[in-house]
C-alpha cells in the first residue's frame, strides 16, 4: 500500500464541466505516463515501449454469454431499436436530419391491426346513428347513415391520401359526424400514453441504468481452473443461469462445461449479479428491480440462500464487500444507501435525494467499497463521494467530481464506479477506483481524491455499464479489465502495474462482432405512399402526442383514422390502398438474419 513517491504532473482546475479554457493535459497520449515520471530517467528510456508492446494479445475464441443482455425471447434479438422509435425523413428535415419519436407510425399500426379494440367502444356509442344491413329502419333523420352504402362508397377507389379523391355526400356526412369523436378520443388518449411509452423506450435505448453493473459473474470452485459462470437466462431474465454448472478453463483449451445443470428460478428479472470470495467463502448477490438476494455458494457449487431484501423504491445497485463475508451495500432510487451486515442487519448509512455536485434528474445511485471496510463510495450521475459509515451522517469528501477537476466534457455523466481492490488474491491496487462515463475511463486513487491518475477515452459505441477486473493470465502479467457496453460491445484492456503506478495498455476490441447488420427487408421511405401536403390541422397540433411530430405526419394520422373500417366490416371487404406497404413493414424477428454471436476468449 505504498503511496507513489512522485505523482505525474497534473494541472488542477476547479469549476463546472465543459469549461474550455482549461488546457486539458490528457491531450498527451498513452505514452505520456512513461515520460512524465522523470526520476529514473536512464532506466525509463525503453520502458514505455516494451511494457505496452509486449502486452499479450487476446484472441476471441469461444462464444459465450454477454454481461449485458436485454430481456427477450431470443437473447440475441436486438429488441427495440432506434429504427422502431424514430421518424424517418420528411421534407422539412431534408437539410438537417433530425430524430423525432414516431408516434404516428406506431399509432396507425395499432389502429390498423387492432381496429376492433380501438373503435369498437366508439362504434357501440354511435350505434343509433348507423343503419346496419338487415336492420329495417324508416327513419328519415339526417343523422343516420346507412353502413351498407357507406361501405360501398369506401369500397370504390380511394387512392390513399389523394386530396382530389371524390367524396360522396354520405362519406362527408360520416366524416363530419364521426371525425371529432374518432379523432380526439382515440388519438388523444392513446397518443399521449403511446408517446410516453415511446419516450421511455427511447431513453432506455440510449441508457438503461437498470443493467448497470452487468449480470455476469464468476464463482470460483475448488481449483482455480474450475468455477461457475453465473448469468441470467430465460425470456424474462428471471432464471439465474439455466445450466448453473461448472465450467473448467484450462489454459490453451476451450472452456468445458462439467457436471449437471442447475438453476435458480426467481420471481423477477435479474438486473445485476455480483460475486466475491471473501476468506474462502464464495458469495453471490443478485439485484432485481425491487428485490436483492444473497446466496452463499458452497465448495461443491451449491447455492444456499442467506437473505432477501426488499427495496420499495427500486434498487439501482448492489455491491458485495471484498473484505468481510456477507456484507453488502444496496442503493435505492430514493437516494438512500444501505449496508447489510450479518450481525447488524440492514442499516441506512446515507441518504440524499439530491445529487452530489450539480442538479441532475436521474435517481440512479451506486455504492461500492473501499480499502477501508467501513468506508464506502456513494456515486450518482454527477460525482462520487467517500463516506465513513461510522462517522456522523452527511459528511464525507468527494472522490470524483464531474467538473473541471477531471476535465469533464459538457454533458458528461458518471455511469459506473468500481472498486478495483479486492479482486484476486493479490490486489494490484487496493486503493484504486474505476469511474466510467460515456466518454472516458478514469482511474482514481482514494488517497488522492479529485485528481484522476489516468483518463482514457474508451470509445465504446454504447453506454459502458459493466467493468470487471480479471485475474492475470499468469502471475506477473498485466491484469485484464473487461468493459461492456449496453449494446453488447466488449472491450478488453490491460491494467499493467509497475509498483504503485498503473497504466492501461494492450487492448483488444471485440465490439465488431456484436453490431447488428442492417436489415435489408425494411421498408425504405420511398416505398411508402407519400402523404398529401396540406396545412396542419390546428386541433391536432395541440395534442401532446403531436408535439414535435411534423405536420405532414399528423395529417397522415388523420387520414388513417378517417379511412379506418368500423367493426363488423366483412374481413377483406375493403381493399385498402395501404396494404402493399403494410406487407412490407413488419418483419417478424425470426426472419431477420441472425447476428453473428459475439465471441469471447478468456
Partner 1 sequence: MSDFSEELIRSKTEDDQEESCVLSGTGMYFPWLQKHIDTVETGGKKEKDFAQTTSACLNRIQEALLKHQWPQAAGYMHSYFQILEDSDSHKRQAAPEIIWKLGSEILFYHPKSNMETFNTFADRMKNMGVMNYLKISLQHALYLLHHGMLEDANRNLSRAETWRYGEKSSSQEVLINLIQAYKGLLQYYTWSKKKMELSNLDEDDYAYNTASQTMLNHSWKTSVNLGALIQTPGVWDPFVKSYVEMLEFYGDQDGAREVLTNYAYDEKFPSNPNAHVYLYNFLKREKAPREKLISVLKILYQIVPSHKLMLEFHRLLRKSEKKDHHKLGLEVLFGVLDFAGCTKNITAWKYLAKYLRQTLMGNHLPWVQEEWNSRKTWWPSFHFSSFWAKSDWKEDKALACEKALVAGILLGKGCRYFRYICKQDHQVLRKKIRRIRKSVKKHSIVNPGL
Rounded least distance, CB 238 to partner 1, Å: 28
Among 59, 33, 456, which residue's Cα sits nearest to residue 254?
59
Of 4 and 314, CB closest to partner 1: 4
| 450 exposure class (CB count in 10 Å sphere: 0-12, 13-18, 19+) | middle
Considering the complex, state which of residue 12 and residue 164 has its C-beta at the smaller distance from partner 1. Answer: 12
Strand extents, DSSP E, 446-485: 454-457, 464-469, 479-485
Q: Does 52 bind partner 1 (CB under 8 A)?
A: yes
Q: Which is nearer to partner 1, 291 or 374 (CB)?
A: 374
Rounded least distance, CB 363 to partner 1, Å: 11
* Shorter beta-carbon distance to partner 1: residue 10 or 592: 10
Q: Which stretch binds partner 1 (CB under 8 A): 139-147, 358-366, 571-579, 581-589?
A: 358-366
Candidate list 49, 189, 257, 308; residue touching partner 1; CB under 8 A: 49
Across the strands, what pairs with 487? none
By C-beta, is 239 or 381 nearer to partner 1? 381
Are 328 and 285 in contact, with CB atoms under 8 Å apart? yes
Residues 76-105, mask of contacts with partner 1 (x by CB under 8 A)? -----xxx--xxxxxx-xxxxxxxxx----
Paired strand residues for 493: 481
Residue from the set 40, 134, 251, 361 that interacts with partner 1 by CB under 8 A: 361
Check binding of 21 to partner 1 (CB under 8 A): yes
For 397, residues 6+ apart whose C-beta sits below 8 A from its C-beta are 385, 386, 449
The residue among 53 and 135 lying less far from partner 1, judged by its C-beta, is: 53
Report the distance separating Cα 232 and Cα 271, nearest Å: 8
What is the phi/psi pair of residue 595, to 5°? -80, 150
Q: With binding defined as CB under 8 A, does residue 114 bind partner 1?
A: no
Query: How many chain residues bind partner 1 (CB under 8 A)?
Result: 123
Closer to partner 1 by CB, 270 or 510: give it. Answer: 510
3-state secondary structure of 273: strand
Q: Residue 415: phi, psi to the nearest 5?
A: -110, -25
Binding mask 301-330 for partner 1 (x = CB under 8 A): ---------------------xxxx-----
Site membership for partner 1, residue 421 (CB under 8 A): yes
- 6 touches partner 1 by CB under 8 A: yes
Q: Which residues contact 46 (CB under 8 A, 6 or more apart)?
A: none
Shortest Cβ distance from residue 461 to partner 1 (Å)? Answer: 5
Shortest separation between residue 54's beta carbon and partner 1, angstroms:
10
Question: Phi, psi (5° rounding) for residue 52?
Answer: -90, -40
Residues 218 and 275: beta-carbon distance below 8 Å: yes
- Indicate the residue among 89 and 121 with the shorter CB distance to partner 1: 89
| Residues 474-513 interacting with partner 1 (rule: CB under 8 A) | 487, 491, 506-509, 512
Verify binding: residue 371, partner 1, rule CB under 8 A: yes
Cell of 575: 381493399
Of 421 and 480, nearer to partner 1 (C-beta) is 421
The Cα–Cα gap between 479 and 502 comes to 10
Q: Which of 72, 424, 497, 548 binds partner 1 (CB under 8 A)?
A: 548
Cβ-proximal residues to 97 (8 Å cutoff; 6+ apart), any chain: none
Q: Does 525 bind partner 1 (CB under 8 A)?
A: yes
Question: Which residues, 436 to 475, sit near partner 1 by CB under 8 A?
Answer: 438-439, 447-451, 459, 461-463
Determine the Cα–Cα distance for residues 355 and 382; give it in Å rounded to an integer: 7
Contact assessment for residue 153 and residue 171, using Cβ atoms and an 8 Å cutoff: yes
Of 233 and 371, nearer to partner 1 (C-beta) is 371
Q: Minimum distance from CB of 180 to partner 1 (Å)?
A: 23
Residue 5 within binding range of partner 1, rule CB under 8 A: yes
Whole-number Å distance between alpha carbons of 243 and 259 = 9
Residue whose C-alpha is closest to residue 537's, from 510, 559, 514: 559
The reply to whether 200 sits near partner 1 by the rule CB under 8 A is yes
203 binds partner 1 (CB under 8 A): yes
Amino acid at each position: 500500500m505504498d503511496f507513489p513517491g512522485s505523482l505525474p504532473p497534473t494541472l488542477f482546475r476547479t469549476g463546472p464541466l465543459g469549461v474550455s479554457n482549461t488546457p486539458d493535459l490528457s491531450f498527451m497520449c498513452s505514452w505520456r505516463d512513461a515520460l512524465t515520471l522523470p526520476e529514473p530517467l536512464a532506466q525509463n528510456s525503453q520502458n514505455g515501449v516494451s511494457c505496452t508492446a509486449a502486452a499479450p494479445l487476446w484472441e476471441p475464441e469461444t462464444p459465450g454469454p454477454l454481461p449485458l443482455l436485454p430481456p427477450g425471447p431470443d437473447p440475441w434479438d436486438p429488441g427495440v431499436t432506434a429504427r422502431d422509435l424514430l421518424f424517418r425523413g420528411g421534407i422539412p428535415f431534408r437539410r438537417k436530419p433530425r430524430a423525432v419519436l414516431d408516434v404516428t407510425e406506431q399509432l396507425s399500426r395499432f389502429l390498423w391491426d387492432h381496429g376492433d379494440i380501438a373503435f369498437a367502444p366508439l362504434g357501440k356509442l354511435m350505434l343509433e346513428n348507423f343503419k346496419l344491413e338487415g336492420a329495417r329502419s324508416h327513419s328519415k333523420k339526417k343523422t343516420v347513415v346507412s353502413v351498407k352504402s357507406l361501405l360501398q362508397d369506401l369500397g370504390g377507389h380511394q387512392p390513399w391520401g389523394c386530396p382530389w379523391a371524390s367524396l360522396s355526400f354520405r362519406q362527408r356526412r360520416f366524416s363530419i359526424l364521426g371525425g371529432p369523436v374518432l379523432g380526439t378520443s382515440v388519438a388523444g388518449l392513446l397518443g399521449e400514453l403511446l408517446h410516453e411509452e415511446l419516450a421511455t423506450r427511447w431513453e432506455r435505448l440510449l441508457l438503461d441504468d437498470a443493467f448497470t453493473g452487468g449480470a455476469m459473474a464468476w464463482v470460483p470452485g475448488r481449483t482455480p481452473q474450475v468455477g461457475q459462470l453465473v448469468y441470467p437466462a430465460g425470456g424474462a431474465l428471471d432464471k439465474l443461469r439455466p445450466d448453473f454448472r461448472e465450467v473448467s478453463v484450462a489454459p490453451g483449451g476451450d472452456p468445458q462445461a462439467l457436471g449437471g445443470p442447475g438453476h435458480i428460478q426467481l420471481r423477477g428479472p435479474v438486473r445485476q449479479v455480483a460475486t466475491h470470495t471473501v476468506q474462502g467463502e464464495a458469495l453471490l448477490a443478485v439485484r432485481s428491480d425491487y428485490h436483492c438476494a444473497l446466496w452463499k455458494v458452497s465448495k461443491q457449487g451449491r447455492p444456499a440462500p442467506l437473505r432477501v431484501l426488499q427495496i420499495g423504491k427500486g434498487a439501482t445497485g448492489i455491491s458485495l464487500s471484498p473484505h468481510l463475508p456477507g456484507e453488502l451495500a444496496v442503493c435505492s432510487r430514493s437516494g438512500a444507501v444501505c449496508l447489510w451486515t450479518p450481525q447488524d442487519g440492514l442499516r441506512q448509512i446515507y441518504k440524499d435525494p439530491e445529487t452530489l455536485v450539480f442538479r441532475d434528474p436521474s435517481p440512479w445511485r451506486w455504492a461500492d467499497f473501499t480499502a477501508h471496510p467501513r468506508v464506502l463510495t456513494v456515486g450518482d450521475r454527477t460525482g462520487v463521494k467517500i463516506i465513513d459509515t461510522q462517522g456522523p451522517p452527511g459528511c464525507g469528501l468527494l472522490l470524483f467530481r464531474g467538473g473541471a477537476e477531471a476535465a469533464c466534457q459538457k454533458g458528461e455523466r458518471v455511469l459506473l464506479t468500481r472498486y478495483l481492490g479486492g479482486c484476486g488474491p493479490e490486489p494490484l491496487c487496493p486503493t484504486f477506483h474505476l469511474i466510467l462515463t460515456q466518454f472516458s475511463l478514469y482511474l482514481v486513487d482514494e488517497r488522492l481524491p479529485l485528481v484522476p491518475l489516468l483518463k482514457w477515452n474508451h470509445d465504446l459505441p454504447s453506454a459502458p455499464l459493466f467493468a470487471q477486473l480479471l485475474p492475470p493470465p499468469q502471475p506477473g502479467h498485466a491484469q485484464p479489465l473487461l468493459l461492456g457496453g449496453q449494446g453488447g460491445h466488449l472491450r478488453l484492456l490491460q491494467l499493467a502495474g509497475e509498483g504503485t503506478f498503473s497504466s492501461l495498455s494492450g487492448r483488444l476490441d471485440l465490439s465488431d462482432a456484436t453490431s447488428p447488420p442492417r436489415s435489408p427487408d425494411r421498408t425504405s421511405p420511398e416505398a411508402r405512399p407519400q402523404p398529401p401536403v396540406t396545412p396542419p390541422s390546428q386541433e391536432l397540433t395541440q395534442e401532446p402526442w403531436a408535439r414535435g411530430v411534423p405536420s405532414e405526419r399528423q395529417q397522415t394520422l388523420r387520414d388513417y383514422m378517417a379511412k379506418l373500417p368500423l367493426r363488423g366490416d366483412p374481413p377483406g371487404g375493403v381493399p385498402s390502398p395501404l396494404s402493399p406497404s403494410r406487407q412490407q413493414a413488419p418483419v417478424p424477428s425470426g426472419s431477420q438474419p441472425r447476428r453473428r454471436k459475439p465471441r469471447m476468449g478468456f
